Amino acid sequence: MSKVRPIIMAGGSGTRLWPLSRNQFPKQFLKLGQNKFSLLQSTILRLEGLNFEEPIIVCNEEHRFLVAEQMREIGIKPIIILEPAARNTAPAITLAAMYLNKIKEKSVMLVLAADHIIEKVAEFHIKINNAIDLAVQNKLVTFGVVPTHPETGYGYIEIGHKYLSGYNVDNFIEKPTLEVAKGFFKNKKHLWNSGMFVFSNDQFLKELHEFSSDIYNVCLESIKAIKFGDDFIRIDKKIFEKCRSESIDYAVMENTNNAVVVSLDVGWSDVGSWSALWEISPKDKNNNVCVGDILIDSSNNNYCYSETQLVSLLGVDNLIVVNTKDALLIANKNNVQEIKKIVGYLKENNRNEVENHRVVHRPWGVYDCIDQSDRYKVKRITVEPGHKLSMQLHYHRSEHWIVVKGTAKVYKNGETFLLSENQSIYVPLGEKHSLENPGKVPLELIEVQSGSYLGEDDIVRFDDLYGRN
């Protein structure tokens, strides 16, 4: 059997699952429902039992520590390629293929999205192996999902004649109208386009060069300067930003004569909306999905999620109710595709709710903004063992730290202090400072900021373990 290299596309933003999914913590990093693992972790873990190489994960620069930490949690050491800018799937896959060429590896690439759910893992393994057999014959294989209902939210693949364990692809079709989707569902000749692929890196690059040489050339130039030995593979940003944004379907799959589709009936979902999540989640006798502290009566077909507070539903049907620490969404289940309008409004008005949760993840841990006003902000900060905040100063605010759990090593104005529980320290405006957790348990402290400006951009870093500016 050929060497197989999983390629995980982890650069999506997942805006249709707002307010849970946000730019700085999109859906691939979420543990949806009662799941123990995130979607990204589950994507990797469902490959257990297959004799594959370590995965390559292609992700946004800003998410690199989220990816690394989530992989550490499940004992995986992937190769992480950082996209300097979002340019859709064709350039992302190209970077992975060219990286393999760079290390002189000829492999079959199993290209997977980081945010899908697949329930029948054993059957999925069989289909993967079928696709690999096709890929070694220089076919470009895509997976098509057998539709369970007429769906207007997916693209479709029209199947042709049988070819070994798959079918020749007759046509790729954009998201259809409902009437057209009903026809597709009835004729059994159309599959949902899953966005998952299998092909050799050599064959993919050969066909990319033929059909989208501009993408090929820009990616080839941008990857020349990569350095090995670092935790992350970095691409030349200025060059890569010149690449046009394009999907692999448009760049290659719709043009090649070697496209083959393998059909999937494995309990697949791209979790592309709240209604899709409702469909695949366990329900009560009235078809309600309840996650969190929920009280529900005389209500049917609802999805209700609460991060903290009690949420009560009475006499309502067909709703999506999502309650987080800083935002509440109430939507009719039939209108969930329009959540992108709300996200667009938030972006236009520079609302932080589109970027971050109230609990914000950092390479060293997390912080939760408990309270704030014009002149003060209160945070609960958790620093993981062995991690350290950057050496920094602020021009517009002072800070007061109170340790509530663990031990803090504080660097302040050239001096070093050890603080234990119930001890505190004051950092005046303009004074260099840093904070480290030298212990074996998470360090928790309360930070009280006060000053004329409390934005996160009021920070000057002098030294940072994580390479941030």
CA-derived radius of gyration, the chain: 24
Per-residue pLDDT of the chain (469 residues; tens, 9 = 90+): 579 999 999 988 778 899 999 998 999 999 986 678 999 999 999 999 999 999 999 999 889 999 999 999 999 999 999 999 999 999 999 999 999 999 999 999 999 999 999 999 999 999 999 999 999 999 999 999 999 999 888 999 999 999 999 999 999 999 999 999 999 999 889 999 999 999 999 999 999 999 999 999 999 999 998 877 678 999 999 999 999 999 999 999 999 999 999 999 999 999 989 999 999 899 999 999 999 999 999 999 999 999 989 999 999 999 999 999 999 999 999 998 889 999 999 999 999 899 888 998 888 999 999 999 999 999 999 999 999 999 999 999 999 999 999 999 999 989 999 999 999 999 999 999 999 999 999 999 999 999 999 988 899 998 888 876 6
Same-domain status, 205 and 291:
no
Same-domain status, 55 and 136:
yes
3-state SS string for 29-87: HCCCCCCCCCHHHHHHHCCCCCCCCCCEEEEEHHHHHHHHHHHHHCCCCCEEEEECCCC
Assess contact for 316 and 323: CB atoms under 8 A: no
* Secondary structure class of 126 (helix, strand, coil): helix
352 falls within a domain: no
Q: How far apart are CA 382 and CA 446, in angstroms?
A: 9
Same-domain status, 144 and 212:
yes
pLDDT of residue 469: 64
How long a stretch of residues is the chain? 469
354 falls within a domain: no
pLDDT of residue 288: 97
Cis-peptide, bond into residue 19, ω within 30° of zero: yes
Structure tokens at 257: 């004569």
Angle at 150 between CA 144 and CA 155, to 5 degrees: 45
Assess contact for 86 and 235: CB atoms under 8 A: no
pLDDT of residue 274: 94
Same-domain status, 82 and 115:
yes
Tally Cβ neighbours within 10 Å of residue 49: 9
Same-domain status, 135 and 256:
yes
Q: What is the DSSP track for 328-342?
A: EEEEEGGGGGGHHHH
Same-domain status, 335 and 409:
no
* Secondary structure class of 365 (helix, strand, coil): strand
Q: How far apart are CA 469 and CA 463, in angstroms?
A: 9
Tally Cβ neighbours within 10 Å of residue 366: 16
Q: How far apart are CA 171 and CA 185, in angstroms?
A: 16
Q: How far apart are CA 187 and CA 173, in angstroms?
A: 15
Assess contact for 313 and 321: CB atoms under 8 A: yes
Please identify, among 234, 269, 304, the residue that sits at the C-terminal boundary of a domain: 269
Please identify, among 216, 237, 269, the residue that sits at the C-terminal boundary of a domain: 269
386 falls within a domain: yes
Q: How far apart are CA 124 and CA 55, in angstroms?
A: 17
C-alpha 133 chain-centroid distance = 29
Same-domain status, 369 and 435:
yes
Same-domain status, 331 and 415:
no
49 falls within a domain: yes
Beta-ladder partners of 24 = none
Please identify, among 269, 302, 324, the residue that sits at the C-terminal boundary of a domain: 269
115 falls within a domain: yes
Q: What is the DSSP track for 186-250?
A: HHS-EEEEEEEEEEEHHHHHHHHHHH-HHHHHHHHHHTTT--SSSSSEE--HHHHTTSPP--HII
Same-domain status, 438 and 399:
yes
Structure tokens at 120: 């029948």
353 falls within a domain: no
Angle at 101 between CA 100 and CA 107, to 5 degrees: 55
pLDDT of residue 230: 75
CATH at residue 428: 2.60.120.10
277 falls within a domain: no
Q: Which residues span the domain enclosing 379?
A: 359-463
Assess contact for 109 and 100: CB atoms under 8 A: yes
CA distance readout (Å), 367 to 61, 384, 447? 20, 11, 10
Burial class (CB in 10 A: 0-12, 13-18, 19+), 252: buried
225 falls within a domain: yes
Same-domain status, 334 and 364:
no
Same-domain status, 50 and 105:
yes
Same-domain status, 257 and 318:
no
What is the end-to-end Cα distance of the chain in Å, rounded?
A: 45
Number of domains in the chain: 3
Backbone angles phi, psi at 354, to 5 degrees: -85, -20
Assess contact for 205 and 173: CB atoms under 8 A: no
pLDDT of residue 152: 86
Backbone angles phi, psi at 349, to 5 degrees: -100, 15
CATH at residue 15: 3.90.550.10
Q: How far apart are CA 57 and CA 9, in angstroms?
A: 6
